[in-house]
Structure 1
């Protein structure tokens, strides 16, 4: 367990914490925590017949699990507005660079899943939309998950909805080279991508498209 130095009531639960009694701050949400960990192991890191490509649903997560850099947080209560949800994320965004620095060479795998067990799914979608620009500008990605599921289709099969999860949550992680398809339609997003991804690290299948999109935006 990692305790926020600015607020002892805010904690990040590590997977190893789930083997014993949970801290008081999150004990009432243990069912939600266990279900999300099961979802990560049984869904995110596994292939899916509707995915439209080979490999796991999320290629990023196994690296986080292997390095012990997948953290869980729980926001208690029932936020009633999108502003409450975005406000709850503010400290995690501030905290992330500190945690990333401590992670050393494995920092790109640092992931924080902020669970909102009692929130309406639409607020998760709206919060992600409102927060994305600020996160991308900081070199971060923020993703929305709930059992709606979120309406965004898969990249390789537009009939598939890959962001379904058992608990509403927002996920924070570092921007990585494979994120280009999620950023390509916005000039500021593409600029942030180009600032943080070296040309040689762009996946070969997207290099021509990255160059084309950058040129179209005058970047």
Structure 2
């Protein structure tokens, strides 16, 4: 079993920031923690629904199951990021809680790429495209965030929902709710449907 010390608990990081701890070598962390707590973990009237912008985040924080890690070196090629993400997937699958434990649905990992700010859009989008089919086959989904991301809410096309202060890819277990995001992507949706047959109840 992989130990969670390989990752940083977002809740613990927030507590350190509140105590005045500085992150000199990882100066991107405070802004990222602020974004998590004050943007995606809270409601926004533009969402046209109840609950947080990202419904999973408050529950993940409550259970201390939201983690943060980062690739702390400049990337010379995209394949390095893909290899790193495959490693993170294996750790994600190994670290408790794991399915079918109910709490596993709230385990999430944010993988930051703080050294690719200039090429963030190209890198994280291409990496996500490359890894997502593989992730889905393991019952895990992923999505990219970066400062210029133009992804919009399915309930309000005027609301940008995936802009973060540092480029990152978020991963979590699949849920039936993911049909909403995958049904417009036939190749990915077919993988989702195949995996769903092993336990997810489509509604």
TM-score, scaled to structure 1: 0.77
Distance of aligned partners of 1:61 and 1:126 in 2 relative to their CA distance in 1, 3 Å threshold: same
1:93-123, Cα deviation, whole Å (9 max, x unpaired): 1111211346954111111111111112120
- Could you tell me how far apart the structure 2 residues matched to 1:105 and 1:27 are? 37
Deviation at 1:17, TM superposition (A): 4.7
> What's the TM-score once normalised by structure 2's chain length?
0.82
User: Any conservation in 1 of the 2:14–2:33 contact (CA below 8 Å)?
Assistant: no
1:66 corresponds to which residue?
62
From 197, 200, 203, the equivalent of 1:197 is 200
Aligned residues of 1:139 and 1:196 also touching (Cα < 8 A): no
Question: Is the contact between residue 113 and residue 168 of structure 2 (CA under 8 Å) also seen in structure 1?
Answer: yes
Corresponding residue SS for 1:196: coil
Partner of 1:180: 179
* CA distance in 1 between partners of 2:172 and 2:98 (Å): 15
Distance 1:73 1:196 in 2: 29
Q: Is the aligned partner of 1:118 residue 2:121?
A: no
Aligned to 2:20: none
| Equivalent runs, 1:39-54 vs 2, <5 Å | 39-54=35-50
Structure-1 separation of matches of 2:54 and 2:138:
22
Structure 1 gaps, min length 5: 4-10, 208-219
Q: What SS does the aligned partner of 1:55 have?
A: coil
**Structure of greater relative contact order (alpha carbons < 8 Å, 6+ residues apart):** 2
Alignment root-mean-square deviation, CA: 2.3
Question: What residue number does 1:168 align with?
Answer: 167
Q: Which residue of 2 aligns with 1:93?
A: 89
2:97–2:107 Cα contact (<8 Å) kept: no
For structure 2, which runs of at least 5 residues remain unmatched after alignment? Answer: 18-22
Aligned residues: 187
For residues 1-41 of structure 1, the C-alpha deviation after alignment (integer angstroms, 9 at most, x for no partner) is 933xxxxxxx20113255459xxxx8611x32222111111
Do 2:82 and 2:131's aligned partners in 1 also have CA atoms closer than 8 Å?
Answer: yes
Deviations 1:155-196 (A, max 9, x none): 112232211111110111100121111222322222223433
Deviates more, 1:100-109 or 1:163-172: 100-109
Distance in 1, Cα, partners of 2:80 & 2:145: 17
